[in-house]
């Protein structure tokens, strides 16, 4: 899969997802032509209001009565960027699942993996109450953007094979820097944080690796932090086996190109996510489109709803994915791009988006996924 940073859409009404997507965009390592992220200023716009969970976990008395280990997915899975019934399909972390350092006990609870990603639930428990400023770090300008704790760490996967030649900093080892894990979740009480994190098998260094049906994974966490609100260094080590669930995963070949040489090679659909796989073929560049950023694109689902993807990846739950269409339109300047994006939002509100896209598109690629 060719990762393209610059096609991330930043809708004002969905700050929660925008924050996550923007951070993942910074962390991704694949390099390709970068378009200008004109709408980044919308990060301070309105956030989606989180629905209350069935039980109030801010109440420590109630939280103490609930068996969290083995049931964390159930509590937080619908609040994730990729929601789903992970509590029904995951298995418990069986081996070295608990580690204590510097007054913090971290427990890996459940794990689920498919061909595209690995999902892990975790509990982080402190001997002292977490700082109040951290427990309020989910609110920015009065809007709830959700809780995030970041883990600086090292990982080992037994299916990763290094290339024949590489610099020490280019491959997992002593000089390699893994990007921090984002544990998205909530506080069960003043001492306890529960959440989940996702490891994307489409990003570096996993891209192109042969994911084994059963693999062994090691994790070493060196630091827990959340921006300026919290920081704790220590050593927390874990390891476990994981099985890859291939049920419900399918790949549809597409192999169609846009005038600027961008190729949609295929679409992979799992029960929880959709991955539109891109490539570039210089031989398919049409006259007048040699400058790649002359063309921008918008993706919509079968109902005509704009898909807010992250470099081709998005949740399968939020859209009608029986059909996906990518519309390409000319936008050679920043001003043109911003104006079109504003018009797209207005047309979507009026439910006339498809008509507008048909009007401005120089090309479109339709993908039927229901077959």
Q: DSSP character for 93? A: -
Write the pLDDT tens digit of every residue in 231-263: 999 999 999 999 999 988 999 999 999 999 999
Q: Quick check: 145 and 16 in contact, CB under 8 A?
A: yes
Write the pLDDT tens digit of every residue in 340-352: 999 999 998 888 9
- Which pair of tokens denotes residue 332? 């050679």
Mean pLDDT of 45-72: 46
Q: What's the distance, CA 27 to chain centroid?
A: 11
HSE-up (13 A, CA, CB side) for residue 350: 11
* Whether the predicted pLDDT of 68 surpasses 80: no
Q: CA 17, CA 304: separation in Å to the nearest integer?
A: 20
Domain limits of the chain? 56-245, 250-368
- Which pair of tokens denotes residue 268? 């992979």
Burial status of residue 80 (CB atoms within 10 A of its CB: 0-12, 13-18, 19 or more): buried
Write the pLDDT tens digit of every residue in 189-201: 999 999 999 999 9
Q: CA 209, CA 205: separation in Å to the nearest integer?
A: 8
> Residue 194: beta bridge partners?
123, 186
Token pair 């529960």: residue: 194
Q: What pLDDT is stored for residue 289 in this prediction? A: 87
* Integer CA distances (angstroms), 121 to 157, 294, 370, in order: 18, 42, 31
Q: Which CATH superfamily is domain 56-245 in?
A: bacillus anthracis domain (2.60.40.1630)
CA 247-249-255 angle, 5° bins: 155
Q: How many CB atoms lie within 10 A of CB 186?
A: 19
Sign of the alpha-carbon torsion through 179, 184, 189, 190: positive
* Whether the predicted pLDDT of 332 surpasses 50: yes
CA 274-147-85 angle, 5° bins: 40
Overall pTM > 0.85: no
- Closest by CA to 299, choosing from 289, 310, 291, is 310
């Amino acid at each position: 899969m060719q990762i393209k940073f610059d096609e991330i859409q930043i809708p004002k009404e969905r700050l929660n997802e925008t924050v996550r997507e923007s951070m993942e965009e910074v962390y991704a390592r694949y390099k390709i032509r970068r378009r200008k992220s004109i709408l980044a200023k919308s990060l301070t716009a309105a956030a989606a209001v989180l629905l209350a969970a069935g039980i109030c976990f801010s109440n420590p008395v109630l939280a103490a009565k609930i068996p969290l280990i083995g049931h964390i997915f159930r509590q937080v899975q619908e609040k994730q960027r990729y929601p789903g019934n992970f509590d029904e399909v995951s298995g418990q972390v069986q081996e070295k699942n608990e580690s204590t350092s510097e007054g913090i006990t971290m427990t890996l609870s459940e794990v689920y993996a498919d061909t595209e990603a690995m999902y892990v639930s975790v509990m982080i428990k402190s001997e002292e109450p977490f700082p109040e400023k951290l427990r309020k770090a989910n609110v920015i300008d009065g809007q709830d953007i959700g809780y995030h704790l970041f883990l600086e760490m090292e990982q080992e996967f037994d299916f990763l094979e290094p290339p024949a030649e590489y610099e020490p900093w280019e491959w997992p080892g002593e000089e390699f820097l893994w990007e921090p894990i984002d544990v998205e979740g909530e506080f069960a009480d003043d001492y306890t944080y529960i959440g989940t994190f996702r490891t994307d098998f489409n990003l570096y260094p996993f891209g192109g690796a042969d994911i084994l049906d059963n693999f062994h994974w090691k994790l070493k966490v060196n630091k827990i932090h959340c921006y300026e609100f919290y920081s704790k260094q220590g050593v927390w080590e874990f390891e476990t086996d994981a099985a890859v669930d291939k049920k419900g995963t399918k790949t549809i070949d597409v192999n169609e190109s846009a005038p600027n040489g961008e190729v949609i090679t295929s679409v992979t659909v799992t029960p929880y996510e959709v991955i539109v796989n891109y490539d570039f073929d210089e031989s398919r560049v049409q006259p007048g489109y040699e400058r790649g950023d002359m063309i921008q694109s918008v993706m919509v689902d079968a109902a005509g709803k704009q898909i807010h993807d992250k470099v081709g990846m998005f949740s399968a739950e939020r859209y009608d994915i029986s059909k996906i269409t990518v519309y390409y339109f000319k936008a050679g300047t920043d001003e043109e791009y911003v104006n079109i994006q504003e018009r797209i939002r207005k047309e979507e509100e009026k439910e006339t988006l498809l008509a507008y896209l048909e009007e401005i598109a120089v090309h479109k690629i339709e993908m039927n996924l229901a077959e």
